[in-house]
Structure formats: C-alpha cells, structure tokens
Structure 1
Amino acid sequence: MTSPSGGSDDDGSPGAGSPEEPGDLVCARCGNRADAPQPTWTCSLENGVRQYICDACSRENLRAIEGRLDSAWW
C-alpha cells in the first residue's frame, strides 16, 4: 500500500513512528519513582539504553555529568 503524496505511513496507533514513552520512571541512581515523565529529570542514552536520573541526583552529580560532555558543549 502506498501513501498519498505528502502523507506518512503512520497509522495513528500508539508508538507508530515515534519512540515509546516510558510508563513508570525509575531513577537509575537512587531508585526514586515517578509515574510520568518529569520535566526536572535528566534522560541519558548510555550504551543504547535510556536512563532517567531524578532531579535530586542530577543536582548532586552535576559536575560529573558536565565532566562527560565534549568540550564543544562548553
């Protein structure tokens, strides 16, 4: 089946054409839980796996996080 010009193959079902949103988030450092994505949490992609860090752990480890950034980000 082909899509009309300018259309997409997205069938509108959840997860179609977009990354799946996590349900229950767990902080990779302290185990703190949140039932939905939090704007103050940090998300990192490490070895192809998404890891979420709560805002308290992010603040406590800010220097270590910044230390891993390429110098181009400074």
Structure 2
Amino acid sequence: MTSPPGGSDEGGRVAQPQLLVCARCGITAEAPRPTWVCSVENGSRQYFCDACSRENLRAIEGRLDSAWW
C-alpha cells in the first residue's frame, strides 16, 4: 500500500483543511495553530484564539484539575 487508509486509491475522501472558529470572538483559521487553545466542554471541542486565550488565562487555569498544576 502506498497511501494511508482512506486515501484516494481506496475511494476515500482526501482530508480537507479544517476551518477553526474561535468560540469566543469568532475569528477563523484554516488549520490548528500552535498558539490556539483547544478545550473539550460537554464532549465537544472548542477552540480559542491566542488573544482570547491570553485575556482569559486565569479562568482557563481555574478550571483545571489540581493534577494539572
């Protein structure tokens, strides 16, 4: 096999870039960025841009279990 499972030679779809939207301010990015924060809330992934993450750092850290700090 020369391509990963689900590749075009198996009739699968080629992965498209994922459009991310900041859950707080609505700014978009075409792919995950290293400065963005991903949060799983109620089983759903939410992304926050670097500006919103910095502005709300205390609130984000306040929700972490003590095992994380």
TM-score, L = length of structure 2: 0.76
Query: Residue 71 of structure 1 corresponds to which residue in structure 2?
Result: 66
Corresponding residue pairs, total: 59
Answer whether contact 2:18 2:30 (CA < 8 A) is retained.
yes
Instruction: Give 5+ residue unaligned stretches, structure 2.
Output: 8-14
> Pairwise CA RMSD of aligned residues?
2.0
TM-score, L = length of structure 1: 0.71
DSSP-derived class of the 2:18 partner: coil
Which structure carries more helix by proportion?
A: 2
Moved over 4 A (4+): none
Task: Using the aligned pairs only, state the percent identity.
Answer: 73
- Inter-CA distance 67–61: structure 2 relative to 1 (3 Å threshold): same
Q: CA deviation at 1:22?
A: 6.6
Q: Give distance in 1, aligned partners of 2:23 and 2:62.
A: 18
Structure whose CA Rg is larger:
1
Instruction: Give 5+ residue unaligned stretches, structure 1.
Output: 1-10, 15-19
